[in-house]
Structure 1
């Protein structure tokens, strides 16, 4: 499996509180978008990375192991928050995926996302479900996708790791075709570029390097209002 990674602090933020991790030996990948004052967001997303690095993955039950990992990260962030006053209230989004025998397994907490681009159809589909105020309105049919993209409160998440012990983990699986692409990203990308335009980038640039450069350029040109982190991945060698 191949991977292309971009992580950029954007045009507005002073630091980058996003983090990512790839374990290529088991086709595992994750991104996390930290939140909290005094750089605590960066601490929370880094805890997610460090926990992933040390975690003992059970590939015989991918979804269960991803959920166990998510719970472990959540507890470690809570523990750290309780020990350091400056870290109280810190949290992070978390989206992670495992590819096992052409089947993609994923978990998600917050508003970072995982998409699959179907090369044969030229279609980009969001697999994950956001834990956000706007996603709830969208699912209830109260707003359109365009209204969701432009909503003034689209940055409000309803769940993230480190905020409470009880988690409503979004999870699922998806059978990948050999030429499908994956996109894992923080909202620094999707808040700047609507889904249809991201889909256009995938259709226009088959080379992962060019695709990644243009996705970043598009997000920065649109304002770069947040940290921008994403992983583009696929099974075929490029």
Structure 2
């Protein structure tokens, strides 16, 4: 017997903001708020390079909205079309910056797919990374360039399930698509419980997966800023993609590591549960991250799945 929820018409309503934090001189985080595409991009690199990379990423993703609204009947993108747009963002950043900077990307999109998306999600776990045993504990790890193509050669298969390009298929059922490259994160609050849906593409996450360090140790590890995938730089930029089944009442959180690196999952859950107003939730989350140290730029988007036709305000950027 099939107990899967029946697809229902839905809309997305969101609020978001960025903050420079307490220790950075410039804000290299960017967000995109649209009823089709919501995205967080955390730029990395030298002066202006990270800002350019994150801006190019959100501008390229925003083109999906333009394509969707070209006709009188809005045409939602397919998984393959979103993947091509992410690849285009990667290409544009590489051409503009010549590997001097890159960006993470975590995005939630409305799409059409031939089948219902996944209702339950388990983040993928990679094999033990071959390079972690050689890390020097006193190395500055702000940039991803320390991971070389040679290191990655035999570690990852580009055709790993969930990351390989999917064929173009007939569009039928409205779904959500979660895309991530790097360590900006996507969470879902459902029935009061928060779940991280993405897996960080980072050195410390792979050490956690391998049992070399704990989640607690990872929060303050000297290599916490070492990213193993990014758009525009490094050896790998392939996004993880997950088609999700929308449920009315679900709440999604997209954020850069300036938020997730400062606040535990319990704190995130408490704020998202207690502050029903999206704009207020965003402000409280950002304020809590600043109070906890504000060591990095902070980007936050809170997205609610609401019934189609429900009078909800447009997306708000604070």
Say whether the 8 Å CA contact 1:128–1:171 is kept in structure 2. Answer: no
Gaps of 5+ in 2: 1-11, 69-74, 112-172, 307-311, 314-318
Matched, 1:81 2:97: yes
Say whether the 8 Å CA contact 1:102–1:177 is kept in structure 2. Answer: no
Q: 1:206 to 1:53 in 2, by over 3 A?
A: closer
Matched, 1:20 2:31: yes
Counterpart-to-counterpart distance in 2, 1:232 and 1:102: 20
Aligned-pair CA distance for 1:18: 0.6
Counterpart-to-counterpart distance in 2, 1:102 and 1:149: 37
SS of match in other structure, 1:99:
strand
Cα offsets for 1:165-208 (capped at 9, x unmatched)? 74332111221220010111111100111112111111222222
Of 213, 227, 238, which aligns to 1:157? 227
Which deviates the most, 144-153 or 207-216? 144-153
Query: Normalising by structure 1, what TM-score?
Result: 0.89
Aligned-pair CA distance for 1:60: 5.2
Counterpart-to-counterpart distance in 1, 2:208 and 2:196: 14
Aligned to 2:87: 71
Aligned to 1:173: 243
Say whether the 8 Å CA contact 1:108–1:169 is kept in structure 2. Answer: yes
SS of match in other structure, 1:235:
strand
Aligned to 1:103: 175
Aligned-pair CA distance for 1:132: 0.1
Matched, 1:94 2:105: yes
Counterpart-to-counterpart distance in 2, 1:19 and 1:104: 21
The 5 Å alignment of 1:40-59 reads 40-55=49-64, 56=67, 59=76
Say whether the 8 Å CA contact 1:193–1:222 is kept in structure 2. Answer: yes
Cα offsets for 1:83-113 (capped at 9, x unmatched)? xxxxx42100111111246632111111001
Say whether the 8 Å CA contact 1:149–1:194 is kept in structure 2. Answer: no
Aligned-pair CA distance for 1:6: 1.3
Counterpart-to-counterpart distance in 1, 2:226 and 2:234: 16
Of Structure 1 and Structure 2, which has the larger fraction of its residues in helix? 1
Counterpart-to-counterpart distance in 1, 2:97 and 2:77: 33
Say whether the 8 Å CA contact 2:77–2:110 is kept in structure 1. Answer: no
Gaps of 5+ in 1: 83-87
Cα offsets for 1:114-140 (capped at 9, x unmatched)? 11111x2x1111111111001111222
The total of aligned residue pairs comes to 228
Counterpart-to-counterpart distance in 2, 1:123 and 1:176: 16
Say whether the 8 Å CA contact 1:75–1:165 is kept in structure 2. Answer: no
Which deviates the most, 130-139 or 51-60? 51-60
Of 202, 211, 220, which aligns to 1:141? 211
Cα offsets for 1:59-80 (capped at 9, x unmatched)? 352x222211110000001111
Q: 1:74 to 1:165 in 2, by over 3 A?
A: farther
Of 227, 231, 236, which aligns to 2:301? 231
Q: 1:139 to 1:70 in 2, by over 3 A?
A: same
Aligned-pair CA distance for 1:143: 2.6
Counterpart-to-counterpart distance in 2, 1:143 and 1:104: 33
Query: Normalising by structure 2, what TM-score?
Result: 0.67
SS of match in other structure, 2:38:
strand
Which deviates the most, 7-16 or 149-158? 149-158
Cα offsets for 1:145-182 (capped at 9, x unmatched)? 22222323211111110114743321112212200101
